[in-house]
Amino acid sequence: MTDRTPRRVALISGGNRGLGLAIARRLTEHGLHVVIGTRDELSGRDAVEALSKEGHDVRSHQLDVTDPASVARAVADVANSAGRLDVLVNNAAVAIDRGQPAAGPDFEKVRVTLDANLIGAWRLSAAAVPEMRKNGYGRIVNITSHLGSLSNMGAGNVAYRVSKAALNALTGILAAELEGSGILVNAVSPGRMDTRMAYGETDRSAADGADTPVWLATLPDDGPTGGLFHERAPLPW
C-alpha cells in the first residue's frame, strides 16, 4: 500500500488462538489493522495482550457467529470505529462429530456444526459485504478443509464434511454474485495443523497454515475469486 492508500481493516472470527491468531499476526505484518473476533471477551483480551507485546496493532471484539445480534454488532462496531471494513476471514468453526456416521447421526451435533461452520460464515459475510461495497474493495477468505472436497469425500466426520462442502459452494456463489464489485471471495484448506481441532493428527504448524489465507486476504484487484486453494495450489471442488 502507498501512503495515499487507506489502511485496510480486517476482522477474523475465532481469532484468539490457533490458525486465527497466526493469521492475525501475519496480517498486521502486512500493515493491516486487525480485529480479533472471539466468543469469550477474556480470551480476546488475552490474545490482544500477547500480540501487542510482540508489537502488533490489534484489538478484539466479542463475536459469536451463531448469534445474529452479535454478528451485526461486531461488524457495525468495527466499521464505525475504524471507518471501514476491508477483509473478513471466516475462521471460526467446530469439529465435534469425529467418526459420526451419516446413516445414524446425532442431529444436534449436525445442527451445531452447520450453524457455526456454514451459517455463521454466511451470516458474517452477509453483514460485511455492505461495508465493503462502500469502498468498492473487499476480501473474504473462508477457511475450509480437504474433508469438504467432493473429490475427496469419504465416511466419518459427516457434519463437519457437509458443513465445509457447503461452505465451498457458498464461496463460489458469493464470488459469482459479487463479480465486478471489487470484492474477491475465496476458500482455503490450510492442511492438518497443530491446533485443538486436529485431534493430534498434524503435519504442520498454525504459522505455516496461515500462508495461503494471508495471501488471499491481501490479493491485488486482479487476483482470483471463487477458488478453493491449498498452499497456493488450486484444488478441484
pLDDT in tens, 84-97: 999 999 999 999 98
Backbone angles phi, psi at 20, to 5 degrees: -60, -45
Kindly state the DSSP code that residue 204 receives in the 8-state scheme.
Answer: B
Which residue's entry shows cell 464505525?
Answer: 80
- Give the residue among 26, 62, 56 at the shortest CA–CA distance from 41: 62
> What's the CA gap between 88 and 134, in Å, rounded?
15
Q: Which residue has the higher pLDDT, 201 or 10?
A: 10
Question: Domains of the chain: which residue ranges?
Answer: 9-234
Residues 163-216: tens digit of each pLDDT: 999 999 999 999 999 999 999 999 999 876 555 555 455 555 567 789 999 999
Instruction: In whole angstroms, give the CA distance from residue 199 to residue 185.
Output: 29
Confidence of residue 2 (pLDDT cuts 50, 70, 90): very low
Q: Match 466426520 to its residue by C-alpha cell.
A: 157
The position carrying cell 475427496 is 152
> How far is the C-alpha of 100 from the C-alpha of 208, rounded, in Å?
29
β-sheet bridge partners, residue 61: 37
Task: Say how far apart CA 218 and CA 180 lie, in whole Å.
Answer: 17
pLDDT at 71 over 80: yes
160 is catalytic: yes
Spot the catalytic one: 9, 27, 159, 160: 160
- C-alpha angle 233-236-237 in degrees, rounded to nearest 5: 125
Just give the CATH number of 9-234: 3.40.50.720
Nearest to 199 by CA among 89, 111, 99, 105: 99
